[in-house]
Chain A
């Protein structure tokens, strides 16, 4: 009896011992709500993370269907990386409730909200829906300022190390490397962007306050009469009239927004309409975070005097 059991037991033990380090080194599974956070997680995690990005640059992150595929992916995530500040309020609560995954629920270390780590702009003084789709925590489109990417990345690297201590050294090292390159890029972008300071622009949706704040652009008009309300013909005509008195140099929109209002106004005012990538994947050049800002700046510079 003994002679049979012992080798089996030993084999089982060996198998266990072999499985243990493997289990500890399992990839960190990340559910990223928006492509910019998915890209940032990949920069920090490299081959040690398995990232699922819930939305694409062609989708409006305010309005996403709580699709079965999203619920299935959230089920096994160790980390949820989202913007927060109510950007995903129309769909993420359903995903969380249906996921059956305690690790990523509100208040857990597995739920990382980028907006909690940056200074929010455009916090409404009064909360009333008559002002449109306003967010109490402030404007959630924080990813258009690369300095915010740096702030979020630092907190994200720390959170990833906390959740996956076995790879903490790797995450910190990769973050340090990325951060160095990122800071150098910011310096380069800021030098390039010098002619953009004070550039008057029209935006389709109030989605660029962080970009404007960073580069010193001047927003003179918005095509949506209220945030989240589609531009109407009447409102567009008023903006066109307003531009005669206070001319702008370009109309900005995110690629996921309908081109029609911006193109109509641009043609009317004789200024370029720019479809900014807005996030990673927004166009061919914006294939990573660096490309995102390279392309955004190049497009803006074409509109500069």
Chain B
């Protein structure tokens, strides 16, 4: 309602020199508009007042509706706890790795040990901080330590479809990346994410996202971070060591189908990134890699439910494809000086890798409570060069081998807070090892478990 007045003021200020008849006429017109608006607003206000007194009168006679429901459960903040663990029947192997790939070492391939094991217990606390920000913490309790998986703030009030997230957060790249392990459709991670990031790529920095004002979902985002997670390294410098860019597009096809597709790019500058492996004689080597790392990810998700009602039956298909280029220098040395390897005395030489892979999975809820799923993981080792020759000539852990894995799962969900899952995997991630893996997994959600993303 201030608009006409403001406009008149702004115009008067902007065009003082052209005070001619044209402008006077315009001024008069605008003034007329302003008065017209004011009278309309006055009329509205008086009508509203009348309406209000009328409702007050009604409220006095009729039994009053309760004011906004305040319940004892509307905690601030929302707290939830995820209990998860599994029983794994695996073969006895000295180590589990992904042949042909320099993967993140900390989480280990295959997940967990043999027999019974407790998976990370997730404690999630989130709330609106004030009208402008939201806060979120996901802490994973493991023996003798607490891993802060995510701890971030996000803006609520920027408008125009913009939002900024800051702190430590799961990067918006790819599809599965933002999901915590309890939301995965299988008991173990797929080979693509294991090879690329370990569990998923976590940024410590800032993320900006923009949602386009279109009826088709169109979202763009960019991130800068300190690069403290694989494949980057925290390089003890100002500025940032990791940049990610991503775009997502999505929509519905009829009332029963919906989809989302995305393209992401991650640039990292690893410096002295740790490397563990073995040479062609199976002697352990250690070393580090410095150079540049570029990852492209393409993802696609499609969901179907009859009439869009997922309670009885639904189907979900997800697939992601990646390509990673790394080049720089790899330094390797004997892990144990008493056990000399081909890297004896320390070997530092140019290294480059051009690798790719994908996973594709389908999960079908064939009746209430029951879901079955199949996933196929496939990595392509591609060209890996070290010291002017194929890396496989020196390092057995980087041998020319394409890892793959088949997984079948069946889960039972007596309620949306409980999931019990059976899984069988035929794991060919390591050259020369075809392992049959059996898992029984449980996932329980306590407290106000937040809504899941698409």
Tell me if A17 counts as interface (CB < 8 A to partner B): yes
Tell me if B154 counts as interface (CB < 8 A to partner A): yes
**B5-52: which residues lie under 8 A (CB-CB) from chain A?**
7, 11, 15, 17-18, 20, 22-23, 26, 29-30, 33, 40-41, 43-44, 47-48, 51
Q: Which residues on the B side are within 8 Å of A158 (C-beta)?
A: 48, 51, 55
Known: A60-B311, A161-B48. A69 touches B258 (CB 8 A): yes
Contact (Cβ within 8 A) B7 A98: no
Contact (Cβ within 8 A) B213 A76: yes
- Among the stretches B215-223, B292-300, B327-335, the one at the interface with A is B215-223
Contact (Cβ within 8 A) B18 A9: yes
- Among the stretches A86-94, A184-192, A196-204, the one at the interface with B is A86-94
Bound-state CA distance A9–B14 (Å) is 10
Give B395 Cβ to nearest chain A Cβ, in Å. Answer: 43
Bound-state CA distance A93–B128 (Å) is 11
The total of chain A residues at the interface (CB under 8 A) is 77
Contact (Cβ within 8 A) A105 B131: yes
**A89-140: which residues lie under 8 A (CB-CB) from chain B?**
89-94, 97-103, 105-108, 113, 115-120, 123, 127, 129, 132-133, 136-138
Bound-state CA distance A5–B44 (Å) is 40
Contact (Cβ within 8 A) A116 B68: yes
Q: Which residues on the A side are within 8 Å of B65 (C-beta)?
A: 117-119, 151
Contact (Cβ within 8 A) A119 B3: no
Q: Which residues on the A side are within 8 Å of B33 (C-beta)?
A: 17, 20-21
Tell me if B102 counts as interface (CB < 8 A to partner A): no
Bound-state CA distance A262–B396 (Å) is 63
Closest to A106 in B: B128
Tell me if B252 counts as interface (CB < 8 A to partner A): yes
Q: Which residues on the B side are within 8 Å of A89 (C-beta)?
A: 451
**A56-106: which residues lie under 8 A (CB-CB) from chain B?**
56, 58-60, 63-69, 71-73, 75-76, 84-85, 89-94, 97-103, 105-106
- Among the stretches A38-46, A164-172, A214-222, A296-304, the one at the interface with B is A164-172
Give A201 Cβ to nearest chain B Cβ, in Å. Answer: 22
Q: Which residues on the B side are within 8 Å of A14 (C-beta)?
A: 26
Give B79 Cβ to nearest chain A Cβ, in Å. Answer: 14
User: B155-178 interface mask toward A, CB cutoff 8 Å, 1 = contact, 0 = none?
Assistant: 011111111000000000000000
Bound-state CA distance A53–B47 (Å) is 30
Known: A60-B311, A94-B453. A65 touches B258 (CB 8 A): yes
Other-chain contact of B451, A66, A73, A165 (Cβ < 8 Å): A66
Tell me if A241 counts as interface (CB < 8 A to partner B): no
Contact (Cβ within 8 A) A100 B4: no
Bound-state CA distance A178–B216 (Å) is 34
Closest to A257 in B: B311
Give A109 Cβ to nearest chain B Cβ, in Å. Answer: 12
Other-chain contact of B11, A13, A64, A94 (Cβ < 8 Å): A13
User: A148-190 interface mask toward B, CB cutoff 8 Å, 1 = contact, 0 = none?
Assistant: 0001001000100100011011001000000000000000000
Give A288 Cβ to nearest chain B Cβ, in Å. Answer: 20
Closest to B258 in A: A67
Contact (Cβ within 8 A) B250 A68: yes
Contact (Cβ within 8 A) B7 A67: no
Contact (Cβ within 8 A) A100 B161: yes
Total residue contacts A-B, CB cutoff 8 A: 198
Bound-state CA distance A107–B1 (Å) is 23
Other-chain contact of A120, B4, B29, B66, B454 (Cβ < 8 Å): B66
Q: Which residues on the B side are within 8 Å of A270 (C-beta)?
A: none
Known: A17-B33, A102-B157, A119-B66. A66 touches B213 (CB 8 A): no
Tell me if B116 counts as interface (CB < 8 A to partner A): no
Give B384 Cβ to nearest chain A Cβ, in Å. Answer: 37
Give B304 Cβ to nearest chain A Cβ, in Å. Answer: 11
Other-chain contact of B308, A9, A58, A115, A120 (Cβ < 8 Å): A58
Q: Which residues on the A side are within 8 Å of B303 (C-beta)?
A: 65, 67
Tell me if A229 counts as interface (CB < 8 A to partner B): yes
Q: Which residues on the B side are within 8 Å of A24 (C-beta)?
A: 3
Known: A56-B255, A65-B303, A136-B74. A105 touches B156 (CB 8 A): yes
Tell me if A256 counts as interface (CB < 8 A to partner B): yes
Bound-state CA distance A117–B154 (Å) is 31
**B250-309: which residues lie under 8 A (CB-CB) from chain A?**
250-252, 255, 258-260, 303, 305, 307-309
Contact (Cβ within 8 A) A59 B134: no
Contact (Cβ within 8 A) A20 B69: no
- Among the stretches B143-151, B186-194, B345-353, B414-422, the one at the interface with A is B414-422
Bound-state CA distance A21–B315 (Å) is 48
Closest to A23 in B: B3
User: B76-100 interface mask toward A, CB cutoff 8 Å, 1 = contact, 0 = none?
Assistant: 0000000000000000000000000
Other-chain contact of B131, A91, A107, A138, A230 (Cβ < 8 Å): A107
Tell me if B63 counts as interface (CB < 8 A to partner A): yes
Contact (Cβ within 8 A) A165 B308: no
Tell me if A258 counts as interface (CB < 8 A to partner B): yes
Q: Which residues on the B side are within 8 Å of A72 (C-beta)?
A: 211-212, 214-218, 250-251
Bound-state CA distance A85–B307 (Å) is 25
Bound-state CA distance A117–B63 (Å) is 12
Closest to B26 in A: A13
Known: A56-B255, A60-B309, A69-B250. A92 touches B451 (CB 8 A): yes
Known: A119-B65, A230-B368. A66 touches B74 (CB 8 A): no
Contact (Cβ within 8 A) A256 B451: no
Contact (Cβ within 8 A) A119 B63: yes
Bound-state CA distance A136–B71 (Å) is 6
Bound-state CA distance A133–B417 (Å) is 10
Known: A6-B20, A6-B22, A161-B48. A91 touches B451 (CB 8 A): yes
| Extra inter-chain contacts (16) besides given A66-B454, A105-B128, CB under 8 Å | A9-B18, A24-B3, A58-B309, A63-B311, A65-B454, A69-B258, A90-B416, A93-B450, A94-B450, A119-B66, A132-B415, A151-B65, A161-B44, A165-B44, A168-B47, A172-B47
Name B residues whose Cβ lies closer than 8 Å to a Cβ of A.
1, 3-4, 7, 11, 15, 17-18, 20, 22-23, 26, 29-30, 33, 40-41, 43-44, 47-48, 51, 55, 63, 65-69, 71-74, 128, 131, 134, 154, 156-163, 209-219, 248-252, 255, 258-260, 303, 305, 307-312, 368-369, 414-417, 450-454
Q: List 22 A-B contacts (CB under 8 A).
A: A17-B29, A20-B7, A56-B307, A65-B454, A69-B250, A72-B218, A84-B69, A91-B451, A100-B160, A100-B210, A101-B159, A105-B131, A105-B156, A106-B128, A113-B68, A129-B415, A136-B72, A151-B65, A158-B48, A158-B55, A172-B51, A258-B368
